[in-house]
């Protein structure tokens, strides 16, 4: 496959890069370097027109929204917080799977009035509790949410859970399931129109790669 237009794909280092790599490879795209071993922020690929940009996971939807990248790979958790303005979400890549849960001390009352919830996912938390008419006070954190109930910063947390080991190590348990999370391919709406042939071809190639991986 040849790309006629320049295509930029935004990825984050770590698990998303590692899990996206085999899918890109099946779609015929191979980066010139290992993201986890370079300090470069822009990686060339075997296609002269295709570049990868390496950015923080939470910045991926922003780059794609503004057209600084045509495509991005990002967790559904990050997308829910961003809101999805300016981008389409054509494909669930089925990678970096985990779940979003309300968590806290065993037996904590998730239906109590006037709860304080600490989380990176303020919007998801407000939507979840708000949908059942429960007003909660949210406290925005950027990491180590498990600490919040222990030090009395919050009654509950909203966090991603894979094995539950981090919660357990801190005396917490998952209390209420919220969402299944996986990484999604997102595309800038204008790129989708203006570079349609290339964008469409890449989505279909990745779709086949995902189906082959299942």
Interface with ligand ATP (CB under 6 A) = 12, 14-16, 56-58, 75, 77-78, 96-98, 143, 160, 162, 181, 183
98 versus 115: smaller Cβ distance to ligand ATP: 98
- Going through 36-182 in order, the beta strands assigned E by DSSP cover 42-44, 50-54, 71-75, 87-92, 98-104, 115-119, 136-140, 156-161, 173-181
CB-nearer residue toward ligand ATP: 28 or 164: 164
The length of the chain, given as a count of residues: 214
In the complex with ligand ATP, the residue whose CB is nearer, 183 or 191, is 183
CB of 72 to ligand ATP, least distance (A): 12
Q: What number of CA atoms fall less than 13 Å from residue 15's CA on the CB side?
A: 11
Minimum distance from residue 47 beta carbon to ligand ATP (Å) = 25
Q: How far is CA 65 from CA 60, 62, 95, 142, in A?
A: 9, 5, 22, 22
Output 15 or 207, the one with its CB closest to ligand ATP. 15
CB of 46 to ligand ATP, least distance (A): 25
On whether the CB atoms of residues 78 and 60 are closer than 8 A, the answer is: yes
- CA of residue 87 relative to chain centroid, distance: 14
Tell me which residue has its CB nearest to ligand ATP: 75
Strand, coil or helix: 141: coil
9-34 in b/e form (b: 16+ CB < 10 A) is bbbbeeebbebbbebbebbbbebeee
Q: Residue 142 Cβ, how far from ligand ATP at the closest point, in Å?
A: 7
For the bound state, the minimum distance from the C-beta of residue 64 to ligand ATP, rounded and expressed in Å, comes to 15
Nearest residue (CB) to ligand ATP, 115 versus 158: 158
CB of 76 to ligand ATP, least distance (A): 6
Is the Cβ of residue 27 or residue 57 nearer to ligand ATP in the bound state? 57
Q: Do the Cβ atoms of 108 and 127 come closer than 8 Å?
A: no
């Amino acid at each position: 496959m040849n790309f006629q237009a320049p295509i930029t794909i935004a990825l984050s280092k770590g698990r998303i890069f590692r899990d996206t790599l085999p899918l890109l490879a099946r779609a015929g795209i191979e980066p010139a370097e290992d993201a986890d071993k370079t300090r470069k922020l822009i990686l060339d690929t075997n296609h002269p027109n295709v570049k990868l940009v390496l950015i923080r996971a939470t910045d991926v939807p922003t780059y794609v929204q503004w057209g600084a990248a045509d495509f991005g790979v990002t967790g559904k958790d990050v997308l829910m917080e961003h809101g999805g303005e300016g981008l389409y979400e054509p494909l669930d890549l089925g990678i970096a799977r985990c779940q979003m849960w309300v968590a806290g001390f065993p037996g904590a009352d998730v239906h109590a009035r006037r709860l304080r919830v600490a989380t990176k996912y303020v919007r998801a938390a407000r939507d979840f509790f708000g949908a059942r008419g429960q007003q909660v006070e949210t406290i925005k954190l950027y990491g180590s949410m498990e600490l919040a109930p222990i030090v009395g910063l919050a009654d509950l947390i909203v966090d991603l859970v894979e094995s539950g080991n981090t919660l357990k190590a801190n005396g917490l348990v998952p209390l209420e399931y919220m969402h299944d999370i996986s990484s999604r391919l997102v595309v800038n709406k204008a790129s989708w129109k203006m570079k349609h042939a290339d964008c469409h071809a890449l989505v279909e190639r990745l779709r086949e790669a995902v189906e082959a991986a299942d």
